[in-house]
Amino acid sequence: MSGLGSWKSPLNPIKLKGSSLTHRERSEFTNMDELQNRLETISNWGYVIYRTTYSVKSDTAFPHAIRYIEACLKSEFFVEVTPNLRPRDDDPVQIRSRYKSTIIEDRAQFDGASIETVRNHFETWVDAQEARDLFNKFRMCIIIDEESLQTLKDGSVEDIKNDDDELRMVKVSRMDEMLGTCTVVSLV
């Protein structure tokens, strides 16, 4: 775990799926009002995902991990948003279709990178977009390191609703957290 900075234990992660997130934490991932307002000025929504592991095995597993993360987020979007739709709301299928992750991969810069390195790059990237606090995409980033990748590589995208047997997690660095820390988020 050297070079990872401090982080909350994966044995007690925040769960995206289910009811263990507080309303505030869950709304950071699926705030419908904010999402709709932002989609009037930006073309898509999604999270910035950093890859910090580069091996032959990770080259094969990483694209699957991205598909799994995106499937989890889209699935959770429907669970959280559909019951709260108002008559003026856009069709959730249309909103969901505008999800697009921003993947940051650079072996030379990020292979084995610490949480601090990723966070510093993310803050610089957000400032270059002139988007600080504009939307969740610009408030937090997802980090896929070797530990996270190992929990995601066998996740079933096709049967995501029944994929509760294994811990599948990512690390999330939020701008409002102390530098060098991250939160572990369980996707199932």
**Residues 80, 82, 86, 92, Cα dihedral to 10°:** 110
Is 112 within a domain? yes
Domain that holds residue 48: 6-186
The domain tally of the chain equals 1
pLDDT in tens, 53-104: 999 999 999 999 999 888 888 777 666 555 555 544 556 677 778 888 999 9
pLDDT in tens, 10-65: 333 444 444 344 444 445 444 566 667 777 777 778 889 999 999 999 999 999 99
Is 123 within a domain? yes
Is 30 within a domain? yes
Query: Could you tell me the pTM of the whole model?
Result: 0.76
Q: Which residues neighbour 127 within 8 Å (Cβ) at sequence distance 6 or greater?
A: none
Is 141 within a domain? yes
Is 1 within a domain? no
